[in-house]
Structure 1
Amino acid sequence: MGITRAGDEVEVRMTAAGTDWQSWQESWDRQQEWYMPDREERFRVMLDMVEAVVGPEPRVLDLACGTGSITDRLFRRFPRATSTGVDLDPALLAIARGTFEGDERVTFVTADLKDAAWAAELPHPTYDAVLTATALHWLHSEPLATLYGQIGGLVRDGGVFMNADHMIDTDTPRINAAERARRHAAMDRARAEGAADWADWWALAAKDPVLAAPTAERFAIYGEHADGDMPSVHWHARTLREAGFAEARAVWASPSDSLVLAVK
């Protein structure tokens, strides 16, 4: 299956080989880039810091992995790395499992991060690095703090946790408003040129013979979108230190997002 958006219509090109998981993977990347044009930069810095702190052969937990975006870039950068991807979304996990089918370096686990026992499903007790991007803003502050406490027990001594996500500083409302207006103007221009948004992408997934059922299931689980708090980078750093990490601070930031690194 190839996926494009031309004008106001999403076009689907079927192939005789069946579901083209790589095309789904790439279409997810393009859809996410509509919201975050600097998405690859945050991944680059994340992996730079993995290498700097724990080396080029890490055992990684790809937390709320989605389609496996972090794992994909991890293996391209560090071929001897291993990864455990954990998520609850059945549609995105189907794409991840299809994309990495036969790759013994990766294992995918279905688990709800709001379930107190979710970590019991993991194949390893600890990891060199726990990585996540643009996912945990689905959680409100209290369950996110609880999750950070659990992550503190999953990162080995000397290991790292990194979260790249929307982190809003409520002390800077004028800066926030100016950044948001500029970002949305750029998104509107890209949309006019044919970029697919979240709704377009999921509408296409709902029509796919393989993804239709898991897509319906994921909307039953999550609803339409996040309603989390998106606290500031300072909250994340403080909460991670309270969870047992020795150090925590931002190592990258855009006008809207930040990448927080915590060292155990």
Structure 2
Amino acid sequence: MTTSASGTTDWQHWQTSWDRQQEWYMPDREERFRVMTDAVEAVAGRTPLVLDLACGTGSISDRVLRALPGARTVCVDIDPALLAIARGHFAGDERVAFAEADLTDPDWTARLPHGSFDAVVTATALHWLDTEPLRRLYGTLAGLLRDGGVFLNADHMDDASAPRLNAALGTLLTRRQERQRSEGALDWADWWSRVADDPTLAAHASRRFALLGDPRERRPSPVERDRPTATDWHLTTLREQGFTEARQIWCSAGDALVAALR
């Protein structure tokens, strides 16, 4: 059990362990959060109402609220275990609200406490959606943003124009991950094993496994699905779905952050 000195669940531990596990896959993760937060401030000011889409443990909200103490966020996700950690981490913070919703449900926005937002932010989440559901979601998000509001999506996106550079940088990342694993870094499956073993989170984990699958099972890669990976696809689709401007504002070897204005 992960508890604090007072005997309560140490939610900061879970938040930090989630961050470290994610950084094993994305060593530039903190940098893209910084660029994302800067973009929110640049477009929406220092007191924005922000929708943290597919929020996980609330990593983006955590960075936004530290940089912009006057902001408010709504954290929405389908994963009950990650939401439990987010709720625990932000307990008592009236700036943060929560909603449990499936983004592929046409009526998911009815679960939100507000009808419009100054900014919508998301990271390493929407790559799970196939092309058409993601296209529809982009249209829905355009409708949720006020005029002049900003949508920011940091995710696995590629630029096929430089295949040798992509391969070289990918190989380097793999080598670093292997070294870090030998030094005890947790991967996705290991992290979820710890969640499932924690008495406070076990029931939430069981719900998550029934709903979304058991991430502890190390299975072969599934058959390729119809999921867009090119940065250009995201930019073009955002414009088609009601955004007036869209551009890439940050990238690494295998990730990019795109911004779109309503």
SS of equivalent to 2:239: helix
Query: After the TM superposition, which residues 218-237 of structure 1 pair with which residues of structure 2 at under 5 Å, given as runs?
Result: 218-224=208-214, 229-237=227-235
Q: Which residue of 2 aligns with 1:241?
A: 239
Identity among equivalent pairs (%): 60
Hey, what's the Cα distance between the residues in 2 that align with 1:230 and 1:33?
Answer: 23
Q: Which residue of 2 aligns with 1:181?
A: 171
How much does 1:169 deviate? Answer: 3.4
Inter-CA distance 228–62: structure 2 relative to 1 (3 Å threshold): farther
Asked if 1 retains the 8 angstrom alpha-carbon contact of 2:245 and 2:260, the reply is yes
Hey, what's the Cα distance between the residues in 1 that align with 2:128 and 2:34?
Answer: 23
Counterpart code for 1:147: L
Query: How high is the TM-score relative to the length of structure 1?
Result: 0.92
Asked if 2 retains the 8 angstrom alpha-carbon contact of 1:138 and 1:228, the reply is no
- Once the two structures are superposed, residues 111-149 of structure 1 have per-residue CA deviations (whole angstroms, 9 ceiling, x without a partner) of 000100000111111100000001111111111111101
Inter-CA distance 150–99: structure 2 relative to 1 (3 Å threshold): same
Query: After the TM superposition, which residues 52-201 of structure 1 pair with which residues of structure 2 at under 5 Å, given as runs?
Result: 52-170=42-160, 172-201=162-191
Hey, what's the Cα distance between the residues in 2 that align with 1:15 and 1:132?
Answer: 33
The answer for unaligned runs of 5 or more in structure 1 is 3-12
How much does 1:102 deviate? Answer: 1.0
How much does 1:17 deviate? Answer: 1.4
Query: After the TM superposition, which residues 209-220 of structure 1 pair with which residues of structure 2 at under 5 Å, given as runs?
Result: 209-220=199-210
Q: Which residue of 1 aligns with 2:252?
A: 254
- CA-based RMSD of the aligned residues comes to 1.7
- Once the two structures are superposed, residues 141-169 of structure 1 have per-residue CA deviations (whole angstroms, 9 ceiling, x without a partner) of 11111110100100110000000000123
Counterpart code for 1:237: L
- Once the two structures are superposed, residues 15-70 of structure 1 have per-residue CA deviations (whole angstroms, 9 ceiling, x without a partner) of 55121111000100010011111110000000111111111111000000000000
Asked if 1 retains the 8 angstrom alpha-carbon contact of 2:158 and 2:256, the reply is no
Asked if 2 retains the 8 angstrom alpha-carbon contact of 1:65 and 1:132, the reply is yes
Asked if 2 retains the 8 angstrom alpha-carbon contact of 1:141 and 1:231, the reply is no
SS of equivalent to 1:114: coil
Hey, what's the Cα distance between the residues in 1 that align with 2:96 and 2:199?
Answer: 26
How much does 1:181 deviate? Answer: 1.5
Asked if 2 retains the 8 angstrom alpha-carbon contact of 1:114 and 1:143, the reply is yes
Asked if 2 retains the 8 angstrom alpha-carbon contact of 1:60 and 1:82, the reply is yes
SS of equivalent to 1:130: strand
Report the number of matched residues: 254
How much does 1:176 deviate? Answer: 3.1
